[in-house]
Structure 1
Amino acid sequence: MRIKHVQAWWVSIPIQTDRQHRSDFGQVRTFDAAILRIETDDGLVGWGEGKNAAGSAGSYGALVHMLNHEIGPQLIGRQAGDIGIIWEMLYNGVRHESAAAAGHAMPQLARRGLSIAAISAVDIALWDILGKSLGQPVWRLLGGRKLERLPAYASGGWAPADTIGEQLQSYIDQGGFRAVKMRIGAMDGAPHVSAARVRAARQALGPEIEIMVDAHGTYTVAEAKRFVHLVSDCDIAWFEEPVIADDKAGMAEVRASGSVPIATGESEATRYAFRNLAVLRAADIFQPDPAFCGGISEAMKIGVLASAFNLRFAPHLWAGAPCFFAGLHICAASPASFTVEYSLGANPMIHDLVEETVEVKDGMIEVPDSPGLGVTVCERFLEEHAQDT
């Protein structure tokens, strides 16, 4: 089961005008990702996804070039089942043999950003191949699943104060969700504007629906603390990315300023960054993105860290199908997981890229039983939306 062929595409799928939304990222007109296909010499195909932008839009030319011309050639001829060994090889670069012999990491100097995004795509695809080769879903290879269906929350919420309740209620009506997430922060301007939107949402939805808020890292520490104070009586389930990911000490300060749980991690890569968050007591909930943090392998290690520090684990899954399905398997196998992010903005990268139907019923989403990730990519659709790079 040796790797024979590696091909990545920058896939950019237009979002119809009436389903677009505007946030601090601007007007979101396309859904973009780097989609990776790995084929073995015995005909097995695995699918992966890498992301260099946390939102759904972004430029993926550089990441795709790295996968096709730098990472891909290193994989040809290697055993596809050597997932951990390949991860460490790509992470440590030219020093991987020394690192293996010494028993500790000696990572290449550019060990973040595009490098880890590329490793993420490879790792997800290799787990898909391993599951298919054994006829088993990935969650079984990770230790089993704790539930056949997982609780999901509806992720969206960009409307102004006078219609935010209606928008979030429409999510609840679609899938029976008991928890919803709305965007706040720079898109609103001052913290009191975001607080007014949150207050309107709570009034519209009542006390039984959980409400999470996501600032995308756009507040200063002072603004985030002020927002926490303004919504102290709104029973917020979590406050996501209050400040930029680079300011972990500031994140810890925000967490210590109130009783709202802090969630973060979609912009973090590898177990080492999450270790620092835990040691600094900067977060209550870890949110690694499998297509950015280092793939399924690294996300599971991050989940173990969460468990060890008595924290919770809710991966960032505003993503394409390979990343989203990877997240389902990770959540199914992780003892610290408790909810699945389900995007209610337009997401053709989940619903149109694959043949499977992805939906939430009664606030729950099924964990796939099929071998590998459980996705069947429509290669014709992929090629129709692949960009020249």
Structure 2
Amino acid sequence: MKITDVTLQGYAWPRAKPIRNGKYTYTTVGLNLIHVHTDEGITGVGWGGGPAFGRPAELTQAFVDHFKPALVGEDPLCYRRLWHRMWEPKIVGRRGMSTQTISAIDIALWDLAGKALGQPIYKLLGAYTDRVPAYIAGGYYEEGKGLKELAEEMETNLELNAKAIKIKIGGAPIREDVERVRVVRETIGPDVHLLVDANNAYTAYQAIDVARKLEPYDIFWFEEPVAPDDYRGHAQVTRATSIPVATGENEYTRYGFRDLIAHEAAHILNPDAQILGGITEFMHVASLAAAHDLQIAPHGAQEVHIHLITAISNGLILEVYRETVDPLRSQIFKERLALDEDGYVVAPDRPGLGVEPNYDLL
């Protein structure tokens, strides 16, 4: 089997209302689908950052065109060799859209391998388990969304069997955010995990102040308290609070996570296969974390990460998005992952990623 082409289809759709976290505002949602085609008629599909993050398909297309000569004519199952053929830091950069495009291509290669071999990706990777606990991510800031509306969102999450919930902080004065956390804790009760995510909004001293004010509310983790490259600041926060610190969604490759770990910058790592270099590189990061007895809680794209977290021994919890984050979240794929009555998600047993984009809707 040989690769015959690599193509891109980019999509974007608006949000009825912009959503905002501690630092960024999102007005649209995007999906850049990369297809790896073969001479046997099997096509792998992967995806990465889209227009929602100011990354138009035209920019991704330029990187696809750059990487295509390294892929066409090659055996798609030789994923390690292909990753290193694309990874040329002197030529295309070590972070940003170049690595994110490699990520999407690598995910497509794994989807293709699963389809060719008739196996879901998590089994190709070793299948440590087939189900994992999950949390529903949300709690964004929106115009007209007050404490009442925030509580109602949390109540809906509970109706969807959520046993863990994440909300945003850092986009309001500290006193207001502490009140938001208090209301959410009262709404979900003492037995549901509550996670908070600042999306890099604070300096280290601000994050320490916030963390100490939130400690009475039994916080499961404090995510991205400071800027991604502020390893020292992350380490200061981890030492100053009893709340576990999680970070890594904006980190790239095994080398970035090596440095995070060396600085003791987090208790929990949040690698994102769509960003850091794909499934191939994610597994390097997971092994590196396991060697340091650190747990992995991947960020983003539950359709991809359900396979990765169930394949590793140090997987902690899966992030799940719903319509509060993306109005078409339950429709862009023909298959949908849902929480069971225990708040777990079961890995799909279909070949590859086990999901097919809803091209008609897109």
For normalisation by structure 2, the TM-score amounts to 0.92
Aligned to 1:373: 353
Q: How does 1:80-99 map to 2 (within 5 A)?
A: 80-92=76-88
Q: Label 1:248 to 1:127 Cα distance change in 2 as closer, same or farther (>3 A).
A: same
Compared with structure 1, are the counterparts of its residues 347 and 109 closer, same or farther at alpha carbon in structure 2 (3 Å cutoff)?
Answer: closer
- Paired residue for 2:27? 29
Provide the residue aligned with 2:36 in structure 1: 38
1:214 aligns with 2:197: yes
Q: 1:252 offset after TM fit, Å? A: 0.5
Whole-angstrom distance in 2 between the partners of 1:164 and 1:116:
36
User: 1:347 and 1:162, CA in 2 relative to 1: closer, same or farther beyond 3 A?
Assistant: closer
| Pairwise CA distance, 1:144 | 1.8
* Structure 2 partner of 1:9: 9
Cα offset for 1:24?
A: 4.2
Is 2:312 aligned against 1:334?
yes
Q: How do residues 223-372 of structure 1 correspond to structure 2 at under 5 angstroms?
A: 223-317=206-300, 319=301, 324-344=302-322, 345-347=324-326, 350-362=329-341, 363-372=343-352
Aligned match of 2:47 in 46, 49, 74?
49
Structure 2 residue ranges without an equivalent (≥5): none
Matched residue SS, 1:114: helix
Describe the shift of the 1:134–1:119 C-alpha distance in structure 2 as closer, same or farther (beyond 3 A).
same
Partner SS state of residue 263, structure 1: strand
Query: How do 1:192-211 residues align onto structure 2 when only pairs under 5 Å count?
Result: 192-211=175-194
- Determine if contact 2:11/2:50 at 8 Å carries over to the other structure: no
Instruction: State the Cα distance separating 1:135 from its structure 2 match.
Output: 0.8
Once residues 26 and 314 of structure 2 are traced to their aligned partners in structure 1, the CA distance between those partners, rounded to angstroms, is: 32
One-letter amino acid of the structure 1 residue matched with residue 133 of structure 2: P
**1:219 to 1:46, Cα distance in 2 relative to 1, 3 A:** same
Q: 1:35 to 1:313 in 2, by over 3 A?
A: same
Q: Which of 60, 64, 76 in structure 2 is aligned with 1:68? A: 64
Q: 1:78 to 1:270 in 2, by over 3 A?
A: same
Residues 55-134 of structure 1 mapped to structure 2, 5 A cutoff:
56-92=52-88, 108=91, 110-134=93-117
Name segments (4+ residues, structure 1) moved above 4 Å.
Answer: 24-27
Q: 2:166 aligns with which of 181, 204, 212?
A: 181
1:146-165 matched pairs, under 5 angstroms? 146-147=129-130, 149-158=131-140, 159-165=145-151
Q: Report the Cα offset of residue 162 of structure 1.
A: 4.6
Q: Distance in 2 between matches of 1:40 and 1:378?
A: 21
The 1-side partners of 2:88 and 2:55 are apart by 26
Partner of residue 138 from structure 1, selected from 112, 121, 127:
121
What's the offset of the Cα at 1:59?
A: 2.4
Asked if the contact 2:50/2:56 (under 8 Å) is kept, the reply is yes
Assess if the C-alpha contact under 8 Å between 1:156 and 1:183 holds in 2.
Answer: yes
TM superposition shift of 1:295: 0.6
Secondary structure, counterpart of 1:232 in structure 2:
helix
Q: 1:253 and 1:144 mapped to 2: Cα distance?
A: 36
Q: How many residues align?
A: 356
Q: SS of 2:45's equivalent?
A: strand
Shift of 1:228: 0.9
Question: How far apart are 1:108 and its partner, in Å?
Answer: 4.5
Q: Is the 8 A contact 1:328 1:367 kept in 2?
A: yes
Structure 1 SS opposite 2:232: helix
1:69 is aligned with what amino acid?
D
Of 231-240 and 107-116, the range deviating more from structure 2: 107-116
1:99 alignment counterpart: none
State the Cα deviation string for residues 162-203 of structure 1 (Å, max 9, x = none): 543332122111x21111000000x21x32221221122222
CA distance in 2, matches of 1:78, 1:113: 25
Cα 1:276–1:81 change in 2 (3 A) is same
Contact 1:52/1:292 (8 A) holds in 2: no
TM-aligned CA distance change 1:67 to 1:38, over 3 Å:
farther
**Contact kept? 1:3, 1:75, Cα under 8 Å:** yes
What is the CA–CA distance in structure 2 between the aligned matches of 1:254 and 1:305, rounded to whole Å? Answer: 22
Q: How far is 1:151 from its partner? A: 1.1
Match of 2:37, SS?
strand
Q: What is the CA deviation profile of residues 265-306 of structure 1, one whole-angstrom value per residue up to 9, with x for unaligned ones?
A: 111110111111111111011111111111111111111122
Secondary structure of the 1:29 match is strand
Whether 2:185 is the aligned partner of 1:170: answer no
Q: Counterpart of 2:346 in structure 1: which amino acid?
A: E
- The unaligned stretches of length 5 or more in structure 1 are 94-106, 383-389
Contact kept? 1:34, 1:63, Cα under 8 Å: no
Cα distance in structure 1, aligned partners of 2:328 and 2:6: 20
